[in-house]
Amino acid sequence: MKTKTQINSHISAIGRKKESTAIISLIPVSEATTQLIFEINGQKAEQYFQQNFTYLTQISLPLRKIKLEKKYKIIAKVRGGGLTGQADSIKLGIARALCKLDSVNFRPTLKFEGLLKRDARVKERRKYGLKKARKASQYSKR
């Protein structure tokens, strides 16, 4: 029985980091097409990440490790957080989508590289009586 992701011929996955969430779609591309490979919120990845080479190499890392760079078009919808958190959430989403594609061959490689780890650190909530999560006003003896 085919799942919904296989019928539509695209694989989707979700990646999260800090406050950002990325919904990733991997769409197979033929060799002849020279379209954009990464599309983030309707823009080219270079335009979205403001030509920052660090973010661009980071989001393409899972594809480079498995040597599928030109095989798939990646469409990402990202919300929340800053550019660093968004780049990490896109990277995790791509790695998860590749695991859905071929779990037996791709998962050990991605897991060894640490690309399937979810960084669960989030901002700590503010407590009453304090200025921030842990910052208190200066102690006054008199």
Give a yes or no: residue 47 inside a domain: yes
> What is the sign of the dihedral through the CA atoms of 66, 69, 71 and 77?
positive
Q: What number of CA atoms fall less than 13 Å from residue 89's CA on the CB side?
A: 25
Give a yes or no: residue 20 inside a domain: yes
Give a yes or no: residue 122 inside a domain: no
Q: How confident is the model at residue 1 (pLDDT cuts 50, 70, 90)?
A: very low
Give a yes or no: residue 88 inside a domain: yes
| Residue 43: domain span | 4-113
Cα separation, 100 vs 70, in Å, equals: 18
Give a yes or no: residue 132 inside a domain: no
What average pLDDT does this structure show over 78-99?
A: 92
Question: What does the pLDDT read at residue 27?
Answer: 87
Give a yes or no: residue 61 inside a domain: yes
Give a yes or no: residue 142 inside a domain: no
Give a yes or no: residue 75 inside a domain: yes
Question: What does the pLDDT read at residue 75?
Answer: 92
Domains held by the chain: number: 1
